[in-house]
Chain A
């Protein structure tokens, strides 16, 4: 099993994530694996000590972990490693990267290249997510505001 990364995370953690039940008994462990039916709220104060959270895709088309990822990143401010495990396919990578995953468990070594390609596959996004990319609507608003400011500057000058 090789773990690859998106470039934002230089070296994936070597820790083995504990299953949630075990981790709840040993809150000092720095890595946990969350089943996709569990609420990220269960991590409670222990979240601050975590270096690695693994979220699971039992099948690629079971998308619950996307919401878990966004809650962890966007709502709870988790900045450690977020790893996608299970049925992780290269065609789902663009979505995973946008939801805040930054490492991927995968048996297939060429996957590293796939992650890099996925990050640049779409130059445009339409909605805010966890990757700080600016949505098209906001780019348009900024462009209009910029054009108006420029026009104002010209008319003043």
Chain B
């Protein structure tokens, strides 16, 4: 098995995960024997990633910063086969969910995860959740520093944090190291953006109080530049302020964004600073040796020097339109000349977004070994990424992905729909999201048409909790329930990227599934007819405003 190019567990990490599995095995036994009531057991299973859903238990596995070795992906495939119905679901938070789990099996599954240095801790519950980062980290040319170094430092600090395991509500942290923000840091409880100060030192912009859900908000910058050694002191200060003052009287007002909104960014900054000054320089300070020891583990694989251009690729690009389309949509330029980043699109026509069968997972693991130094990433768009691919391998990889159904040239396109599990799986849902995503991808399945339309992010949530991140979709779709009928509310103009982050605006009254699809078709036609050169769907919308779209959809200016 190839080596890994990200953090490797040592004896400490393995001991903690093993002890955690033993603790949960005991808790499950106490539940099964009736020693624990479901009410007492619920918070225990939740902090181990185990949810009770409509039809079965769901286990959410943490994939820190979305990075996996091929061996880990194979282990996930093995779990899908042995304990689930042979597939798994990659989520918008770079995690993997198994939807058909038996409670009795959960400890064995956690043990199987522990065997490959994985766990399901803190993927649920009112604690600091699995930390997310840019899925192109380390491979994209545009970053200041690999954000996963910091996601790992935060992962360790937050794991079983004794003070912050019973927060008012869940808490999500994201890190980006690139000016092109692929981690949506402005819509997280805390977003960390690595950048350099004028003297060249690396530090963080700290953004607090963003979030989606029923009250979408864009985070406020509490610090423009935090020295990197102070990161944990500042995080601990922020979490302490939140733990003490965040609202606990109303589930829907309990996220940190509401606290920041209610007391204002100024006062929040003051409270956090007061705490930070007391904590700064204590044992939370990160010495350079500690940072460097973690950073060294994220050293990129040794990539052999290769020509910056592959003649084979260019020949095939000229000859084969399908290959050319795939290159344009699913292949991203690499930091290292002669290499590329490839997106395997888990958006098969007619299948739920993000789903992969055990066979497909095994096959992607094999492809990672052959073409990507044995590494795979999970993206927020619910795709798999192969980050270290030589240009000369692209043709073979394309054919192999095509055979798996993962080569649709959709990345960033209208076919690359993000959708939450919706009413098919989720007890909280108002409406189904997956069938709508499937019908939309069928309607816009034609690859040439998708290429003509260009970048267009469609995101669907089955209820106001916004797990499908509809607020930041160029087209966002929210499932609502009107007297027992499933309807969909469209919003336009959302954008997840820092710099241009925006919450979409509601277009008008909710529509049936059929009319939602027609409305999207009509709005796409309007865009194609009115765009000026270089404009994406969202740019045209910003230029024209909502009225022409309302007129198209509702036949009048709403």
Contact = CB atoms under 8 A, between A and B. Distances in A.
A91 interface: yes
Interface stretch (B277-285, B339-347, B367-375, B447-455): B277-285
B166 A70 contact: no
A111 B161 CA distance: 23
A13 B130 CA distance: 41
Contacts of B20: 122
A66 B162 contact: yes
B165 A63 contact: yes
Chain A residues touching B, majority SS = helix
Interface residues on B, range: 35 or more
A4 B17 CA distance: 29
Interface residues of A, number: 37
B107 to A, nearest CB: 15
A147 interface: no
B16 A128 contact: no
B317 interface: no
Contact of A136 (B40, B156, B167, B287): B156
B19 A122 contact: yes
Given A60-B43, A91-B27, A140-B12, A66 B289 contact: no
Contacts of A62: 166, 248
Interface hub of A63, A68, A125, A144 (most chain B Cβ within 10 A): A63
B162 A137 contact: no
B335 interface: no
| Interface of chain B, main secondary structure | helix
A144 B289 contact: yes
B10 A137 contact: no
Contact of B162 (A61, A98, A124): A98
B162 A140 contact: no
A66 B12 contact: no
A127 interface: yes
A24 interface: no
A155 interface: no
Contacts of B284: 127-128
Contacts of B13: 124, 136
Contacts of B290: 137-138, 140-141
Nearest to B283: A128
Nearest to B20: A122
Contacts of B289: 141, 144-145
Interface in B246-305: 248, 278, 282-284, 287, 289-290, 293
B166 A123 contact: no
Contacts of B310: none
B12 A127 contact: no
A67 interface: yes
Contacts of B425: none
B163 interface: yes
A29 interface: no
A132 B270 CA distance: 29
A127 B285 CA distance: 11
A151 interface: no
Contacts of B287: 141
Given A124-B16, A128-B283, A136-B12, A61 B163 contact: no
A15 B43 CA distance: 33
B164 interface: yes
Contacts of B244: 64, 67-68
Contacts of A124: 12-13, 15-16, 19
Interface string A113-156: 00000000111111111000001111111001100000000000
Given A122-B19, A137-B156, A66 B243 contact: yes
B293 A61 contact: no
A11 interface: no
Contacts of A67: 163, 240, 243-244
A92 to B, nearest CB: 8
Among B159, B282, B283, find the residue whose CB has the most chain A CB atoms closer than 10 A. Answer: B283
B163 A63 contact: yes
Interface of A: 60-64, 66-68, 70, 75, 89, 91-92, 94-99, 121-129, 135-141, 144-145
27 contacts: A60-B43, A60-B166, A63-B163, A63-B164, A63-B166, A66-B165, A67-B243, A70-B240, A75-B278, A89-B40, A94-B160, A95-B160, A95-B166, A97-B162, A126-B157, A126-B158, A126-B161, A127-B161, A127-B162, A136-B12, A137-B156, A138-B283, A138-B290, A140-B10, A141-B287, A141-B289, A145-B289
Given A62-B166, A67-B244, A122-B160, 17 more contacts: A61-B126, A62-B248, A63-B163, A64-B243, A66-B243, A70-B163, A75-B278, A94-B162, A122-B19, A124-B15, A126-B16, A126-B160, A135-B283, A136-B12, A138-B283, A141-B287, A141-B290
Closest 10 pairs between A and B when the two form their complex, measured CB to CB: A63-B166, A98-B162, A128-B283, A136-B12, A95-B162, A124-B16, A126-B156, A66-B163, A124-B12, A67-B243
Interface of B: 10, 12-13, 15-16, 19-20, 23, 27, 40, 43-44, 126, 156-167, 232, 240, 243-244, 248, 278, 282-284, 287, 289-290, 293
